[in-house]
Structure 1
Amino acid sequence: MKIVLLGYMGCGKSVIGAFLAEKLQIPFYDLDQEIEKETQISISELFQTRGEIYFRKKENDTLNNFLDKKEHFILSLGGGTPCYYNNHELLRQEGVFSIYLKASVATLVSRLIKEKAQRPLLHNQDEVNLKDFINKHLFDRNFYYHQATKIVNVDDKSVEQIANEIQALLA
């Protein structure tokens, strides 16, 4: 079983993925962290020094390598991963159970406004601009996110509730 979590930054992919992996007793991986391990460079530094095209190619290669593995795992993707190359099609292949963790704009703004310093794309955003920024991204990414096997709404739910909901979908 290959469980892949996708959705916008701040929707909870990493937190929910780690919690669910522990619950299911299978390994958890974060695609961005795997890219950082492989390149020995942070994602923001990769963007700055090598550019987005290099990063997206590395992201696609790393995703392909993961999906070729024979083991069970949970993998959280970067927010933009499904939108580049043929990544959204890779998530539809046999043996991959992809889940879009869907959060409302209000939920995303309330979470991301606190994390601006750690998120390079958000450094210059105030709350009003952040809302517009997220709305535009969600509009642009909507098609790709909705290619997931299942959609789970995360608004007003605990990590445990979301993990239980995903576990029920897997049965």
Structure 2
Amino acid sequence: MKIILLGYMGCGKSVIGTFLAEKLQIPFYDLDREIEKETQKSIAELFQTKGEIYFRKIENEVLKTFLAKDNDFVLSLGGGTPCYYSNHELLLQEDVFSIYLKASVDTLVSRLINEKAQRPLLHNQDEVSLKDFINKHLFDRNFYYHQVTKIVTVDDKSVEQIADEIKALLA
């Protein structure tokens, strides 16, 4: 089973993915980390030096490579991954169990307000503009985020509770 976690930045894909993979005793991968390994550049560097279109092309290629593997794993996607190329359609394969980790705007703002330095798309946002920015992105990405096997709401839940909920969905 290929378990794919998607959702907006800050929803907990990497943290939950790591915990879930450990619980299921299968490998965990983060698509952004895999892109960084492949290109030998950070995501921020790729955005700055090559631009978003180049980044999205590499992202699509690395995702396809991962989904072609035969082994079981948990993979967390970047927040925008499902929205480019035909990435959302790749998640509809038979051996893929995709999960949208859905977080409210307030949850996302509270998590992201202190992480702006590590997130290239958020550098110039204050709390008010960040909320507007997230609202607009969620509206734009709504269709893609809902092309999944299951939706799990993450607000006010611990990592363990979310992982247990996902594990129950897999049974």
Q: Normalising by the residue count of structure 2, what TM-score does the alignment of the two structures yield?
A: 0.99
Q: Deviations over 1:38-82 (max 9, x none)?
A: 110001101111111111010000000000000000000000000
Q: Distance in 1 between matches of 2:32 and 2:125?
A: 22
What SS is found at the alignment partner of 1:79? coil
| 1:161 matched to 2:168 | no
The alpha-carbon deviation at position 120 of structure 1 amounts to 1.2
Alignment of 1:9-20 (within 5 A): 9-20=9-20
**Equivalent position of 1:76 in the other structure:** 76
Aligned length: 171
* 1:148 alignment partner, SS class: coil
**Offset, 1:117:** 1.2
Runs of 4+ in 1 over 4 A off after TM superposition: none
Show the counterpart of 2:57: 57
Identity %: 85
How far apart, in 2, do the equivalents of 1:105 and 1:168 lie? 26
Q: What's the CA shift string for 1:12-45, capped at 9, x where partnerless? A: 0000000000000000000000000011000110
Aligned partners of 2:3 and 2:98 also within 8 Å:
yes
Pair 1:112-2:112 in alignment = yes
Distance in 2, matches of 1:19 and 1:143, equals 27
8 Å Cα contact 2:47-2:120 kept in structure 1: no
Aligned to 1:28: 28
Q: State the Cα distance separating 1:9 from its structure 2 match.
A: 0.0
Give RMSD over aligned pairs.
0.4
